[in-house]
Structure 1
Amino acid sequence: MGIVTPDFGLLFWMTLSFLIVLFLLRKYAWKPILESLKKREATIEASLLSAEKARDEMEKLKADNQQIMQEARQEREKLLAEAREVKEKIIADARSEAKVETEKMLNAAKLQIEREKIAAVNDMREKSITFSIKIAEKIMSDSLDNNKKQKAYLDRLLQEIPWQ
């Protein structure tokens, strides 16, 4: 026979050795190989489950992070709104207080002006009276030489002065 076509004996021994190797592999090596493959499959499956859990956990954490960020934004907006309100209140209070203080100062100034006006009028009145009395003394001393004329003049003046 030729190189390309095998002989019957060669085929027989090749088949027999293949079956013996197959039997030995099945008897001694097949179970450990299958167990090793099952362990590897279980490890891969556990890794996939773990990766799936990790991905789900990441999604959950991402959603939680988004929620926390949203709450933080809302809290920031709330705090900013409160700060604006407090600022406006402080400004309004300061304006109100300044207005009240200005009113007090204006009233005090008006009162002071009125007092000074009254004091000036009283001072002028006193000076006028003093001046009038001095003039009257001069006139009287010149025109009233005797007691009778003086008494008659005083009675007439007393009747003319309105008593309040």
Structure 2
Amino acid sequence: MELLLPGLGIMVWTLVAFVIVLLILKKFAWKPILKSLKDRETNIAESIATAKKVKAEMAQLQSDNEALLVKAREERATLIKEAKESADKMIAEAKARAQSEYNKIVDEARVAIDQQKNAAMADVKNQVGNLVVEVAEKVLRKELSNKAEQENYIKQLAGEVKLN
């Protein structure tokens, strides 16, 4: 049982140490702790008041924003309508210009095609004439008595001729 009950000396010294610590805390720590608690309480009260004020301002801003949004939607609808009308007009004008340009380009292309066709035909005629002259020249140079040999020689020459 002696182990469960502390001695009288230990109790006195513990009490003296507790009182000394209590006096030191009262002198140095108690006032700053109370001051910081009071400051915190004041800060929380100010924050709550500011939050209520901000909430009221936010409600006002929200109603203002809704009114602005309605006005913006109306303006947007008007702008879209005007833009669509303008776009339709521009498209019609562009189609008309494109059609006239198309007709002009087609006419110019037909003229150019005819010119190129005529030039190509003239070139083909010149090349065919040159080929005929060349083949005739070679045939005349080599006169063959046998008709079969002459035909084979003509076929050989036709194969050798290079077309431009």
Tell me the TM-score range normalised by the shorter chain. 0.3 to 0.5
The higher relative CO (CA closer than 8 Å, separation ≥ 6) is in 2
TM-score norm. by structure 2 comes to 0.40
